[in-house]
Structure 1
Amino acid sequence: MDLTGVNIPVADARKQEAITDEQAQYFLDNGFLVVRGVLAGEELALVQREMQRLYEKGAAGVENDPDYMYGTGVKSGQPVLRRIEYVIDKSDPMKALLGHPFILRSVEKLQGRNLIATWDSMVLKAPDEGVIVPWHRDAAVPDGCADPRPIFNVDFYLDEADLKTCLWVIPGSNKWTKAEADARCNQPGFSTDDAIPVPMQPGDVIFHNIEVLHGSPSGDGNPLRRTVYYEFRPGEIEAEFGPHTLEYLSLKQQVLLDCIERRKAAPYAQGETPFLYRPNGAFAVHAARRPEQYRYGHEHYWRR
């Protein structure tokens, strides 16, 4: 795959059990990795329908629900849906998606056995109203953390992302200092001189480090673009630095175990080799139990 005029590693979930050592190293060095064909066929169609349902609900306007977030449309100047939080809670197919074995085996390769699924959301560019996403980092690695394992998002693309709607990244910016990143983010406009576009097809995935600089320009005649984000963090980093409490980590482990079981029962997942979640040490799970809920609001589990 040639994204920049230079060949870079691209994983293919249709041919691999997990990302390779070369692909993992590329991700660690550059802060992003493209994976082709994670979703296909019945599952892709089902997830697209489910997220279209949520999009249409949000596009019609949802009051007094903080899970539905709005920006200002570039053409109309009116409120436009830009993000929906806690999609796993809102859709059973999104629960099964969290149990995707290629994704979880790849996350385990990068983070170790004690991986924790933390955030889940859908970000949007509404048709012809694409809201600019300025250059930014999603978050910062906690101060004092010397653990080299990455914290990252897995971005599932449900629509084609062409040059009007795709993500742009600055390779290697995940290794920049805060001062370097801030200086780049504070440059006026949306310059792409040091960046590359990452066009995607429905069913493709991007892994992106929370510290890699990325963004996208405003839309001009853009089609709808829906992208589901699942964030993962090494449990050891969360336990030492937060931002969540230890109780939250345990609850989210039970959600992940439940989602893996749900995937095993999904008709489109038959023939897969399920992911075996084997947390150890202080993170060992001695008994799986059905979660009481799938929406554990972050604000209730911040460390004080």
Structure 2
Amino acid sequence: MGLADVDIPVVDARTQDAITDEQAQYFLDNGFLVIRNVIVGEELKLVRDEMQQLYDKGAAGVDDDPDYLYGVGVKSGQQILRRIEYVIAKSDPMKALLGHPFILRSVEKLQGRNLIPTWDSMVLKAPDEGVIVPWHRDAAVPDGCTDPRPIFNVDFYLDEADLKTCLWVIPGSNKWTKEASDERCRQPGFTTEDAIPVPMQPGDVIFHNIEVLHGSPAGDGNPLRRTVYYEFRPGEIEAEFGPHTLEYLALKQQMLLDCIDRRKSAAYAQGETPYVYKPKGAFAISEPKQPESYRYAHEAYWRR
């Protein structure tokens, strides 16, 4: 199948409650799925404003906070903000966003009821200083894992991503062997003959499998592009293979429940049908508890 044969489905979060079976199959086959109009109206304004405050803080320079990460700007050669970790802990609208019912119902369709939110970050291309993101996989499925359910990121776009700033993906590369993936990543330069661009508008979302090859070229005259990543993993896979401890999974489940409740009280979410999180088996929750934190540092919960 050539790239011309990749028929990208149109998914609009305003007209359906979750992704359809056909859209889910497209994601499983190709490793990515574009969903339009997930964040709209007042919520989009709030989220953009909150994340702009974090960006402004980081762009001014933060020396004593490891959550703010920097790279070398392509124009200035100076340290340029490229990523901010744990955005849920830093913003109430980002907590409510984790409870987005369309997103959670769609994640459940792909991963099952025992879904776990595992990472939350904002990745950036600073104006006219976009740092190249070479072809890569975010991570690999753990060795020995035969569970076919995908591990993936939900990418919330807060700014327009045009051909200067958008993600490029290689459809179907989520099914490649490690050897094939490594060979493609070793090719010099950011070549795109086997890839497609994915332009986005503010409020749109991409689901992308951690094993699909993706990247973006260096910026040259690019505007600011902010994208928030929420990663989800099936609880059974995480429990068996890690990298986090079982304690971490339980803490993140309680955090998810709290964020779902927070969304119910948000003015912009009135009229939504809330997502009902009912994990089962070993992941069943007997009693919701108020989270002690919204920032559970990964390194404190790595398996030893």
Compute the TM-score of the two structures, normalised by the length of structure 1: 0.98
Q: Distance in 2 between matches of 1:123 and 1:37?
A: 20
Report if aligned partners of 1:14, 1:38 keep a CA contact under 8 Å in 2.
yes
Q: Note the 1:12-23 alignment, pairs <5 A.
A: 12-23=12-23
Q: 2:78 maps to what in 1?
A: 78
Q: Distance in 1 between matches of 2:27 and 2:7?
A: 14
Deviation at 1:5? 7.8
Say whether residues 1:30 and 2:30 are aligned partners: yes
**Letter aligned with residue 26 of structure 1:** Y
C-alpha change, 1:256 and 1:4, in structure 2 (3 Å) is farther
Q: 1:230 maps to what in 2?
A: 230
Q: Residue deviations 1:181-209, cap 9 Å, x none? A: 00000100000000000000000000000
Deviation at 1:7? 3.3
Q: Note the 1:203-282 alignment, pairs <5 A.
A: 203-282=203-282
Q: 1:65 maps to what in 2?
A: 65
**Letter aligned with residue 14 of structure 1:** R
Q: 1:55 maps to what in 2?
A: 55
Q: Note the 1:138-153 alignment, pairs <5 A.
A: 138-153=138-153
Q: Distance in 2 between matches of 1:179 and 1:298?
A: 28
Q: 1:288 maps to what in 2?
A: 288
**Letter aligned with residue 118 of structure 1:** T
Q: Distance in 1 between matches of 2:159 and 2:9?
A: 22
Q: Distance in 1 between matches of 2:283 and 2:127?
A: 43
Runs ≥4 residues deviating over 6 A = none
Identity of aligned residues (%): 83
**Letter aligned with residue 102 of structure 2:** F
* Structure 2 gap segments, 5+ residues each: none
Q: Distance in 1 between matches of 2:237 and 2:7?
A: 33
Q: Residue deviations 1:213-262, cap 9 Å, x none? A: 00000000000000000000000000000000000000000000000000
Q: Distance in 1 between matches of 2:110 and 2:257?
A: 19
Report if aligned partners of 1:163, 1:197 keep a CA contact under 8 Å in 2.
yes
Report if aligned partners of 1:4, 1:196 keep a CA contact under 8 Å in 2.
no
Q: 1:160 maps to what in 2?
A: 160
SS in 1 for 2:11: strand
Aligned positions, number: 302
Q: 1:201 maps to what in 2?
A: 201
**Letter aligned with residue 289 of structure 1:** K
Deviation at 1:4? 6.0
SS in 1 for 2:65: coil
Say whether residues 1:300 and 2:292 are aligned partners: no
Q: Distance in 1 between matches of 2:40 and 2:269?
A: 11
Compute the TM-score of the two structures, normalised by the length of structure 2: 0.98
Q: 1:133 maps to what in 2?
A: 133
Q: 1:44 maps to what in 2?
A: 44
Deviation at 1:20? 0.4
* Structure 1 gap segments, 5+ residues each: none
**Letter aligned with residue 203 of structure 1:** G
